Amino acid sequence: MAVEPQLGTEIQYVKGVGPKNAMLLSKLGVQTAEDLLWYLPFRYEDRSEIPPIMHLRPGRHNTALGKLTEVRTRPLRGGKVLLEATLSDRTGELVIQWFNQPWLGRQLEPLRGTEIVAYGLVREGYRSRLEMAATEWEAIEDGDTEEFARIVPVYPLTEGVSQRVVRRAARAVAEGLALQVSDPLPKWVRQRERLPELGPSLRQLHLPDSEEQRILARQRLAFEEFLYLQIALQLRRREVKQEVGISFPISRIGELEQPVTTLFGQDQETPAASFWQEVLQMLPFQPTRAQERVVHEVWADMERPAPMNRLVQGDVGSGKTAVAACAMLAAVRCGYQAALMAPTEILAEQHAFNIKRLFEPKGIGVVLLAGKLGAKEKRRATTQAANGEAQVCVGTHALIQEGIQFANLGLAVIDEQHRFGVLQRMALRNKGRTPDVLVMTATPIPRTVTMTMYGDLDLSVIDELPPGRKPIKTHWKRPGERAQTYEVVRRLVAEGRQAYFVCPMIVENEKMQAQAAQDLHLRLSQQVFPDLRVGLIHGQLKTVEKEQVMEDFRAHKLDILVATVVIEVGVDVPNASIMVIEDANRFGLAQLHQLRGRVGRGSTQSYCVLIAEAKSEESRRRLEILVETSDGFRIAEEDLKIRGPGDIMGTQQHGSLDLRIADLIEDAHLLERARQAAIDLLERDPELNDPDNREVLKRVRQRRSDEALITVS
Ligand code: ADP
Ligand code: MG
């Protein structure tokens, strides 16, 4: 082809690619030159330095260059083969080893006497000879090397496609075409943020001149990615604010009663002050300042005509349920129904129990809607939700099933929202006509994730625990130290406390999980604590059975409760002051933190014992973090580092956080900048009509379908 290649040129016509490689590249989804430009390396190997062999350092990845002086194969046990090649330069000798790749010998043999270059882990072998476990090598032709003596990109591959093919093609495209790529970002943004242009950045990512330039190029792309996401979220937020929802007349509730003073001070009467008085009388405790602030934020939002879309974040035990109760009471007082959806039956039952206790004395009808209710009960609850007799409906996913209708749902509260998929949240919202939505999460989501995932939500944070809480003391014990742990449990029970035993996590299925719990229960009740009252709860029990067990535990008819992770979220028995978690290694960090939050809810000292072997450095680090801190935010960040955001947010939301380049932890500073840039950009050009912003708009639109999924509305 004599034609000068363009970005849209089919990849096979790019210099040095050809039909055969084009076919391989198509396996990676690469059809055109431009596709390949965007097919980015996922890491780099700095092979720019080639030290003399004598200077190679065991324990490091190094590049070595020398004359191939010897090639030999040795049979090993089990029919395997070790291939060794000796490389030498003026300073010394190096033996490169490959296991079980006999065909390599046939490639190396003819190169004997010529120079080759290899990259791999250097180690000290028998009689301190220098060895290298080689991953890659290349013959030097005309004194030139393609894959060495530079920072080499490493691309994600699929079967049958080699690094070499991709590198060579990517190099051709990056050298020849990258600079033709036009930059979608308005100039002022680029200048203000000191970002390099897109074309040169892409070139740097494939052919880095230096580590600094590569990093800068990557930041440029990450910033851009965040920017589109943030613009999409800002637009969405604006749309929601323009929608017309319910304006709850909260300040007029109890208007006739005496005006009262609150924590806000005497002269600064808040609109909902008299209603706040009612709340104070209803709650069995004095709300914390944080709770009071958040309740007022929620109420103020409910008063506004735009539908509320608010995330309440608060660490385990910070008292989110009370905040939800205040919001629901407001909705009911204004003549609407409220629904509270929880992720597990146990939690829904517990909420129903607590809310009934608060609301029924006021004559407010509360029903429970859960999957495993008897047919008759379910029918009654369904009818009451539909005719409005049930002013508050508490439930699980059962709430969003097709047959369920509400007379006039005004407020939807979703507890432990990270447990729900986006669609489930939307489904609950759609049970009413633009009801207000309040989502609550105990998982402390790192701020960067919040900004990315929930940039369109308003955020309220309960940043204070109820007074008198003593921090939970967490200990890590090896399996060999169980007896000692049992003694502590026994002592606490003798003092009138209660204990949880959480059995090992088994992900395979719920049946096996239940079996593990039964085994643990048997061992504890028969052998270890035959004299104590040991109960058992797991996901395979019927609702009524679970309810009964929880009720017995709450009423202190049980000393010890053996449980699966069903108790992970929300369960609240303040007298329980020790939790023993078996095989703690199998749980995620955030999950352990959640579990641990089941104790330390009263005013006595509580304990959490993690029983685990430290199998790896990583698991040791995870356990130590838990022992060290009870700061949920720190734990969440560590967890994010270890597992990545997809896992934290739950797989259903993973797809929506489609970040190809940016990293939520590493690039947190960029995210903040991108958010500000998004706000400024929209301020200058609210509809993105300016020709300068046309490309930005186009790319934001491409994101819109994803973005629609990450809002609660
Ligand atoms: P979470 O935020 O984890 O959902 P809960 O709402 O379950 O927390 O509350 C945890 C415990 O703290 C409950 O026993 C609740 O009654 C109690 N609680 C909540 N707020 C206060 C408060 N202001 N003072 C004392 N106890 C409180
Ligand atoms: Mg809760």
- Residue 221 CA, ligand 1 centroid: distance in Å: 44
Which atom, in ligand 1's list, is nearest to the CA of 320?
2
Answer yes or no: is pLDDT of 372 > 90: no
Average pLDDT over residues 273-278: 88
Q: Are residues 493 and 552 in the same domain?
A: yes
Ligand nearest to the CA of 602: 1
Report the residue among 289, 321, 353 best suited for mutation to probe ligand 1: largest number of ligand atoms under 8 A from its CB. Answer: 321
Q: Are residues 481 and 436 in the same domain?
A: no
Answer yes or no: is pLDDT of 450 > 60: yes
Q: Is the CB of 287 under 6 A from ligand 1?
A: yes
Q: Is the CB of 288 under 6 A from ligand 1?
A: yes
Sole residue written with tokens 């047919």: 375
- Residue 386 CA, ligand 2 centroid: distance in Å: 27
Q: Are residues 513 and 375 in the same domain?
A: no
Report the residue among 280, 282, 285 best suited for mutation to probe ligand 1: largest number of ligand atoms under 8 A from its CB. Answer: 285
By alpha-carbon position, which residue is closest to atom 9 of ligand 1?
Answer: 319
In this predicted structure, what is the pLDDT of residue 42?
A: 87
Q: Report which of 356, 357, 379 is spatially closest to residue 369, judged by C-alpha positions.
A: 379
94 beta partners: 87
Name the burial class of residue 593, with classes exposed (0-12), middle (13-18) and buried (19+) by CB atoms within 10 angstroms of its CB: buried
- Residue 570 CA, ligand 1 centroid: distance in Å: 10
Q: 273-282 and 320-333 helices cross at what angle (nearest 10)?
A: 120
DSSP assignment of 651-688 equals HHHHTTS--SS--TTTTHHHHHHHHHHHHHHHHH-TT-
Q: Are residues 413 and 488 in the same domain?
A: no
426, 432, 433, 437 alpha-carbon torsion, rounded to 10°: -60
Domain presence at residue 323: yes
Q: What does the DSSP 8-state code read for residue 162?
A: -
In this predicted structure, what is the pLDDT of residue 531?
A: 95
Domain presence at residue 331: yes
Domain presence at residue 175: no
Neighbours of 423 (CB within 10 A): 10
Which atom, in ligand 1's list, is nearest to the CA of 286?
23
What one-letter code names the amino acid at 311? L
Q: Is the CB of 322 under 6 A from ligand 1?
A: yes
Give the H/E segment covering residue 609.
strand 607-611
pLDDT (tens digit per residue) in 120-147 = 899 998 888 999 987 688 777 766 666 6
Q: Is the CB of 564 under 6 A from ligand 1?
A: no
Ligand nearest to the CA of 466: 1
Domain presence at residue 70: yes
Q: What does the DSSP 8-state code read for residue 508?
A: S
Answer yes or no: is pLDDT of 285 > 80: yes
Report the residue among 315, 318, 606 best suited for mutation to probe ligand 1: largest number of ligand atoms under 8 A from its CB. Answer: 318
Q: Is the CB of 580 under 6 A from ligand 1?
A: no
46 beta partners: 151
Answer yes or no: is pLDDT of 252 > 60: yes
- Residue 461 CA, ligand 2 centroid: distance in Å: 14
In this predicted structure, what is the pLDDT of residue 69?
A: 94
- Residue 321 CA, ligand 1 centroid: distance in Å: 7
Q: Which band of pLDDT confidence, cut at 50, 70 and 90, is reported for residue 266? A: very low
What one-letter code names the amino acid at 91? T
Q: Are residues 294 and 391 in the same domain?
A: yes
Q: Which band of pLDDT confidence, cut at 50, 70 and 90, is reported for residue 445? A: low
Q: Are residues 524 and 579 in the same domain?
A: yes
Chain centroid to CA 202: 28
Q: Is the CB of 208 under 6 A from ligand 1?
A: no
User: Between 421 and 601, where is the model more confident?
Assistant: 601
176, 182, 188, 190 alpha-carbon torsion, rounded to 10°: -50
Answer yes or no: is pLDDT of 453 > 60: yes
Query: Which two three-digit tokens encode residue 122?
Result: 């250097």
Q: Is the CB of 313 under 6 A from ligand 1?
A: no
By alpha-carbon position, which residue is closest to atom 5 of ligand 1?
Answer: 319
Neighbours of 239 (CB within 10 A): 12
**Bridge-based pairing state of the strands 115-124 and 61-75:** antiparallel
Q: Is the CB of 318 under 6 A from ligand 1?
A: yes
| CA atoms of 23 and 166, how far apart (whole Å) | 12
Q: How many CA atoms lie within 13 A of 340 on its CB side?
A: 34
- Residue 602 CA, ligand 2 centroid: distance in Å: 15
| CA atoms of 612 and 657, how far apart (whole Å) | 33
Report the residue among 355, 601, 603, 606 best suited for mutation to probe ligand 1: largest number of ligand atoms under 8 A from its CB. Answer: 601
Average pLDDT over residues 269-289: 86
| CA atoms of 172 and 181, how far apart (whole Å) | 15
Q: Is the CB of 670 under 6 A from ligand 1?
A: no
- Residue 585 CA, ligand 1 centroid: distance in Å: 28
Q: Are residues 344 and 391 in the same domain?
A: yes
563 beta partners: 502, 537
In this predicted structure, what is the pLDDT of residue 47?
A: 81
Q: Is the CB of 289 under 6 A from ligand 1?
A: no
Q: Which band of pLDDT confidence, cut at 50, 70 and 90, is reported for residue 658? A: low
By alpha-carbon position, which residue is closest to atom 27 of ligand 1?
Answer: 466
Neighbours of 474 (CB within 10 A): 23
Give the H/E segment covering residue 594.
helix 589-596
Average pLDDT over residues 173-192: 92
Which atom, in ligand 1's list, is nearest to the CA of 316?
3
* pTM metric for this prediction: 0.65
Ligand nearest to the CA of 280: 1
| CA atoms of 12 and 588, how far apart (whole Å) | 46
Q: Is the CB of 291 under 6 A from ligand 1?
A: yes
Q: What does the DSSP 8-state code read for residue 472?
A: P
Q: Is the CB of 598 under 6 A from ligand 1?
A: no
Would you say 575 and 606 are in contact if contact means Cβ atoms under 8 Å apart? no
- Residue 539 CA, ligand 2 centroid: distance in Å: 19
Would you say 158 and 27 are in contact if contact means Cβ atoms under 8 Å apart? yes
In this predicted structure, what is the pLDDT of residue 657?
A: 53
Q: Is the CB of 321 under 6 A from ligand 1?
A: yes
Answer yes or no: is pLDDT of 576 > 80: yes
In this predicted structure, what is the pLDDT of residue 443?
A: 67
Would you say 344 and 566 are in contact if contact means Cβ atoms under 8 Å apart? yes
| Rounded (5°) CA angle 598-642-158 | 135
User: Between 421 and 396, where is the model more confident?
Assistant: 396
Q: Is the CB of 606 under 6 A from ligand 1?
A: no
Ligand nearest to the CA of 572: 1
What CATH number should be reported for the domain holding residue 369? 3.40.50.300
Q: Are residues 522 and 599 in the same domain?
A: yes
Sole residue written with tokens 């009524």: 544
Q: Which band of pLDDT confidence, cut at 50, 70 and 90, is reported for residue 150? A: confident
In this predicted structure, what is the pLDDT of residue 255?
A: 61
Q: How many domains would you assign to the chain?
A: 3
Q: Are residues 295 and 401 in the same domain?
A: yes
Residue at a domain's end among 149, 169, 186: 149
Poorest-pLDDT segment among 120-124, 166-170, 262-266, 335-339: 262-266
By alpha-carbon position, which residue is closest to atom 18 of ligand 1?
Answer: 319
Average pLDDT over residues 445-449: 66
Residue at a domain's end among 629, 657, 681: 629
In this predicted structure, what is the pLDDT of residue 80?
A: 85
Q: Are residues 60 and 141 in the same domain?
A: yes
Query: Which two three-digit tokens encode residue 225?
Result: 């990615």
Query: Which two three-digit tokens encode residue 353?
Result: 């129990």
Give the H/E segment covering residue 474.
strand 473-477
pLDDT (tens digit per residue) in 99-126 = 888 788 888 999 999 999 888 899 998 8
| CA atoms of 72 and 110, how far apart (whole Å) | 13
Answer yes or no: is pLDDT of 166 > 70: yes
Domain presence at residue 283: no
In this predicted structure, what is the pLDDT of residue 516?
A: 87
By alpha-carbon position, which residue is closest to atom 16 of ligand 1?
Answer: 319
Give the phi and the psi of residue 95 in degrees, each rounded to 5: -105, 120
In this predicted structure, what is the pLDDT of residue 46?
A: 83
Q: Are residues 354 and 495 in the same domain?
A: no
Domain presence at residue 455: no
pLDDT (tens digit per residue) in 487-540 = 999 999 999 999 999 988 776 677 888 888 999 999 999 999 999 999 999 888
Would you say 477 and 609 are in contact if contact means Cβ atoms under 8 Å apart? yes
Which atom, in ligand 1's list, is nearest to the CA of 574?
14
**Does the CA dihedral 567-568-573-577 come out positive or negative?**
positive
What one-letter code names the amino acid at 419? R
- Residue 317 CA, ligand 2 centroid: distance in Å: 7
Q: Is the CB of 294 under 6 A from ligand 1?
A: no
Ligand nearest to the CA of 340: 2
Would you say 11 and 166 are in contact if contact means Cβ atoms under 8 Å apart? no
Q: Is the CB of 442 under 6 A from ligand 1?
A: yes
- Residue 292 CA, ligand 1 centroid: distance in Å: 13
Would you say 472 and 606 are in contact if contact means Cβ atoms under 8 Å apart? yes
pLDDT (tens digit per residue) in 52-98 = 999 998 988 888 999 999 999 988 888 888 999 999 999 999 999 99
DSSP assignment of 563-609 equals E-GGGSSS---TTEEEEEETTGGGS-HHHHHHHHTTSS-SSS--EEE
What CATH number should be reported for the domain holding residue 95? 2.40.50.140
Q: Looking at 68-115, list the stretches that DSSP marks H as alpha helix, in order from N- to C-terminal side.
A: 102-108
Q: What is the mean pLDDT of the chain?
A: 85
Q: How many CA atoms lie within 13 A of 613 on its CB side?
A: 4
pLDDT (tens digit per residue) in 193-249 = 999 999 999 999 999 999 999 999 999 999 999 999 889 888 877 877 788 889 999
Q: Are residues 477 and 624 in the same domain?
A: yes
In this predicted structure, what is the pLDDT of residue 159?
A: 76
Average pLDDT over residues 556-575: 84
Task: Identify the domain containing residue 599 by its residue range.
Answer: 473-629
- The dihedral region occupied by 420, where left means phi > 0, alpha psi between -120 and 50, and beta the remainder, is beta
In this predicted structure, what is the pLDDT of residue 704?
A: 61
What one-letter code names the amino acid at 209? D
Residue at a domain's end among 392, 417, 441: 441
- Residue 287 CA, ligand 1 centroid: distance in Å: 9
| CA atoms of 247 and 233, how far apart (whole Å) | 24
